[in-house]
Chains A and B, each alone.
Chain A
Amino acid sequence: DIQMTQSPASLSASLGETISIECRASEDIYSNLAWYQQKSGKSPQLLIYAANRLQDGVPSRFSGSGSGTQYSLKISGMQPEDEGDYFCLQGSKFPNTFGAGTKLELK
């Protein structure tokens, strides 16, 4: 199985701060990577797919980058509504595997 190592596990950011979350795959996943946001008590929502494609309706302050085994999600200007848990997903091979998650809080 492909292991997804996500970091950091938690992050505290100030309003307007730019933050990054990383995911490293145990093998090349050829940009088959997605990012999700999950707010407390809610279902996950897709933010980014195919490593760098912004899902419809997602604010442009979210962006994704990376290739091979290294990927990142950037939030350019933290907003209060960005608090929540963030997960990466590799869709290159079954079993699809998620990162362990990053808890993002507003400082």
Chain B
Amino acid sequence: EVQLVESGGGLVQPGRSLKLSCAASGFTYSNYVMAWVRQAPTKGLEWVASISTGGGNTYYRDSVKGRFTISRDNAKNTLYLQIDSLRSEDTATYYCAKDIWFAYWGQGTLVTVSS
């Protein structure tokens, strides 16, 4: 059974940093593109970043370029999202998702940016 479990969210002040993790199991993690998608409270879905199977290629939405870094550890079956210079508009539930079709999603981890 595919499982994706996010962690690392919380309440953080503007300008601070946070690192999200997503532990994957139930599939051959290293064979799949992975992504982060976020959803602000009561809002729609927004793609954040994607990473290739080996981690050599990364893609970001413009509003997070230079502040967010997606990475993966295929030995640990774990996906990461380093978030720097947090802004209030980054407040959202962050989901990790499997493959180019986002076929499976984790339960999400809530990031709240507030002073």
Q: Which residues of A contact B (CB under 8 A)?
A: 34, 36, 38, 43-46, 49-50, 55, 87, 89, 91, 94-101
Contacts and interface: CB of A to CB of B under 8 A. Distances in A.
Contacts of B44: 87, 98-101
B8 to A, nearest CB: 17
Nearest to A32: B100
Nearest to B4: A43
B108 A43 contact: yes
Interface of B: 35, 44-47, 50, 59, 61-62, 95, 100-108
Nearest to A34: B101
Contacts of A97: 47
A34 B102 contact: yes
B2 to A, nearest CB: 11
B45 A43 contact: no
A45 B95 CA distance: 12
B102 A36 contact: yes
Q: Which of B45, B105, B108 has the most CB of A within 10 A?
A: B45
